[in-house]
Structure 1
Amino acid sequence: MADPYKIGFIGLGLMGEGMATCIVKAGHRLTVTANRNRAPVDRLVAAGAAEADTPAAVARDSDFVVVCVATAEQVDAIVTGPDGILSAAHPGLTVIDCTTSHPDVTRRVAGACSAAGVSYMDAPLARTPTEAWEGRLNIMAGADDAVLERARPVLSLFAENIFHIGPVGSGHALKLINNFLSIGAATLTVEAALAARSLGVDHRKLFEVCSAGGANSAMFQAVMPWILDGDDTKMRFSIANARKDMGYLKSLAEKARLPATVLPAVSATLEAATSGGAGDDYIPKLYNFALNSKA
């Protein structure tokens, strides 16, 4: 292969560890840093990655730094904070933000990067941790053409499809809309299952009929296995993360004065579940929270 890329990776969660493992397996130089959980770092170091102690140290030894964390606030701190990426800015450095983030924060962080001579793009992800480990994610890229083309070989290490959405911030905006469609369908499935239970309709008949018709969806197929058989692994996305994403989109809708009726309802459902202690549960378990609340 051509000379290996020097890539940093910050955020080794459900998606990040698989993505970073794809980079190491492809033979590129990878530098990682620990966040809350050391185990993924130890596994990656054993596979050939180097470890650094701060985002600045990661950036210092990288030409590309992938950030894949939970919130816009974390991205801001990682890039612009003390010992952040920009404190080790150097010519040619590109930040690839794979977080599901707030577009307003994205554009502000991108401006700070530009002022420091660093390229930045938003590159939020679609698909699941399974595809992350297989290098088959979808990416919604917000970047100018030159930055995207420079980053494309790196993105291709863990992505099957790269969609160029538009300028910086547009990838994150579309990701939030995408998640609204997915999370909205999941919460609707939960409510439909509660209605079936209350009206004496067998859940397996609900599943059988809806799976064969227009009511079927990927989210219906992801949520119903939990309700039927206690399997919550088909949608490994936490209620708290869903609440965060819908909160970001709700703030954008309010700022733009967009008409919205479904979004506030979905957001309120997730807020109640998170406040009620279910935030760390995967979304299919919204059914249990709603059932207990109803009782």
Structure 2
Amino acid sequence: MHVGIIGVGLMGHGIARNVLSRGGFALSFLDHPGNQPVDEIVSLGAVACATPAEVAAMSDVVILCVTGSPQVEAIVAGDQGVATALRQNAVIVDCSTALPESTLRMAEIVRAAGGDYLDAPMTRTAKHAHEGTLNLLVGGATDTLERVRPVLSSFTEEVAHVGPLSHGHRLKLLHNYVSVGFMTLLAEAAAQSADAGVDPAVFVDVLASGGGASVALERLAPFITEGDREGLPFFVSNAQKDIDYYRAMSEQAGAQHTVADGVSQALADAVADGHGQAYVPELCALFKNSSS
């Protein structure tokens, strides 16, 4: 199979290098200013394309790894989108974090063009993408998943089939709400602890030995104790986007989202203050009392 990828960012670059080096697949990618440096993947044989349609025309599988639903919709349904040049029976694998209702609409467009669609959002971080150990939450038909599983296996540790189409994105939003929500809460607590002059190592140790022990703590602890933000290279603006997608999904379902509203406001305030490109661990500093 020839693989295409659109979105060679922090996550997509790792996916691309493993599709090439571990999977041994031919790869085309969209040349875009938002890409990470592509020297490595070009050296491994990747070919740059000028438009999503050009990627689609060359590919049996097209992986999307972009910011959210507006970007996915433009790539799939735009004037030079993948649906305009899709190979028959090609599969779009959407690894973005997107709204479930948008996913269903994009799948209809792809099916009308003769292809099929899987939503396959990722859990884990850019480090895992580089190492080829991402986890995927896949929604869609079983036979479609099995057709592309060799490609997915080249950059993952686990591929979980979680239900019909759109359930991958639904579960990713649930996952990110819990994950980002925990980290936002923890960052607020860490900021108050620092304001009060508590030893940051003691703060972390107390949480780690009690009910605060969590992956959220593991990811934020390096910043709390040492100022190292690299435990989670995930922009605050993207965290806010994911929470707001969760809120939109909840509103459509008539579900409660009171806590999510508070998390969204905390993140929105940081973005409004010019910190959208800060990494999530830096919230521990951004939430501090400016007078302390």
Band the TM-score falls in, shorter-chain normalisation: over 0.9
Out of 23, 39, 48, the residue aligned to residue 19 of structure 2 is 23
Question: C-alpha deviations, 1:124-167, integer Å up to 9, x for none?
Answer: 00111121122111000011111111111111111111111111
Q: Residues 191 and 289 of structure 2 are in contact (CA less than 8 Å); yes or no, is this contact kept in structure 1?
A: no
Superposition TM-score, scaled by structure 2 size: 0.96
CA distance in 2, matches of 1:95, 1:58: 11
Is the aligned partner of 1:220 residue 2:217?
yes
Q: Residues 124 and 134 of structure 2 are in contact (CA less than 8 Å); yes or no, is this contact kept in structure 1?
A: yes
1:272, distance to aligned residue in structure 2 (A): 1.0
**Partner residue, 1:143:** 140
- RMSD over aligned CA atoms reads 1.4
- CA distance 1:258–1:39, shift in 2 (3 Å): closer
Out of 6, 12, 18, the residue aligned to residue 10 of structure 1 is 6
CA distance in 2, matches of 1:12, 1:91: 25
Aligned residues: 291
Stretches of structure 1 that go unaligned for 5 or more consecutive residues are none
Bigger Cα displacement from structure 2, 42-51 vs 162-171 = 42-51
1:171, distance to aligned residue in structure 2 (A): 0.2
CA distance in 1, matches of 2:131, 2:165: 27
Question: C-alpha deviations, 1:214-264, integer Å up to 9, x for none?
Answer: 211111121121122110000111100001001111011112221222111
Out of 79, 88, 94, the residue aligned to residue 91 of structure 1 is 88
**Partner residue, 2:200:** 203
**Partner residue, 1:71:** 68
Q: Residues 142 and 165 of structure 1 are in contact (CA less than 8 Å); yes or no, is this contact kept in structure 2?
A: yes
Q: Residues 200 and 225 of structure 2 are in contact (CA less than 8 Å); yes or no, is this contact kept in structure 1?
A: yes
- CA distance 1:212–1:264, shift in 2 (3 Å): same
- CA distance 1:274–1:95, shift in 2 (3 Å): same
Bigger Cα displacement from structure 2, 238-247 vs 143-152 = 143-152
1:39, distance to aligned residue in structure 2 (A): 5.0
**Partner residue, 1:32:** 29
Superposition TM-score, scaled by structure 1 size: 0.95
Amino acid in the other structure paired with 1:15 = M
Q: Residues 30 and 49 of structure 2 are in contact (CA less than 8 Å); yes or no, is this contact kept in structure 1?
A: yes
Q: How does 1:185-204 map to 2 (within 5 A)?
A: 185-204=182-201
1:201, distance to aligned residue in structure 2 (A): 2.6
The share of aligned pairs that are identical, in percent, is 40
- CA distance 1:286–1:121, shift in 2 (3 Å): same
**Which SS does the other structure have where 1:91 is aligned?**
coil
Out of 70, 85, 106, the residue aligned to residue 103 of structure 2 is 106
- CA distance 1:292–1:78, shift in 2 (3 Å): farther
Q: Residues 122 and 142 of structure 1 are in contact (CA less than 8 Å); yes or no, is this contact kept in structure 2?
A: yes
The list of structure 1 runs, each at least 4 consecutive aligned residues, that deviate by more than 6 angstroms after superposition, is none
CA distance in 2, matches of 1:147, 1:180: 28
1:94, distance to aligned residue in structure 2 (A): 0.6
**Which SS does the other structure have where 2:24 is aligned?**
coil
Q: Residues 233 and 279 of structure 2 are in contact (CA less than 8 Å); yes or no, is this contact kept in structure 1?
A: yes
- CA distance 1:73–1:37, shift in 2 (3 Å): closer
Question: C-alpha deviations, 1:169-216, integer Å up to 9, x for none?
Answer: 100010011011111111111111123234443222111121122211
1:293, distance to aligned residue in structure 2 (A): 5.5
Stretches of structure 2 that go unaligned for 5 or more consecutive residues are none
Question: C-alpha deviations, 1:90-144, integer Å up to 9, x for none?
Answer: 2121100000111111111011111111101100001111211221110000111
CA distance in 2, matches of 1:75, 1:228: 38
**Partner residue, 1:285:** 282
Is the aligned partner of 1:56 residue 2:53?
yes
CA distance in 2, matches of 1:41, 1:105: 30
CA distance in 2, matches of 1:239, 1:24: 31
Q: Residues 173 and 243 of structure 2 are in contact (CA less than 8 Å); yes or no, is this contact kept in structure 1?
A: yes
Bigger Cα displacement from structure 2, 170-179 vs 27-36 = 27-36
